């Protein structure tokens, strides 16, 4: 199962006029807390804040963020 970066990158309105976040969507390589994070967001966001990142290896089957 391929994971994608779930870091919010923008806030837009959905078809009902409710606010919703747009997520990065690049291939994820790490898990930081409950987020899946791409290499770019790890380098420029999570590393800067010193948040621990767990490398994703193989298939992760936790039922979340399916593609």
Strands 30-32 and 35-37: antiparallel
Q: What torsion, rounded to 10 degrees, do the Cα atoms 31, 67, 5, 32 define?
A: -10
Give the model confidence (pLDDT) of 4-63 as tens digits.
Answer: 999 999 999 999 999 999 999 999 999 999 999 999 999 998 999 999 999 998 644 455
pTM for this predicted structure: 0.73
Whole-number pLDDT of residue 66: 47
What are the angstrom distances between the C-alpha of 29 and each of 17, 20, 48, 66?
Answer: 33, 24, 17, 15
DSSP H or E segment with residue 40: helix 39-41
The structural domains of the chain, with segments of one domain joined by +, span 8-55
d(CA 27, CA 37): 8
Q: What is the pLDDT of residue 30?
A: 97
């Amino acid at each position: 199962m391929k994971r994608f970066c779930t870091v919010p990158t923008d806030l837009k309105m959905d078809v009902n006029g409710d606010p919703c976040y747009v997520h990065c969507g690049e291939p994820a390589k790490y898990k930081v807390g409950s987020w899946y994070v791409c290499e770019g967001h790890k380098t420029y966001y999570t590393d800067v804040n010193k948040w621990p990142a767990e490398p994703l290896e193989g298939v992760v089957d936790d039922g979340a963020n399916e593609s």
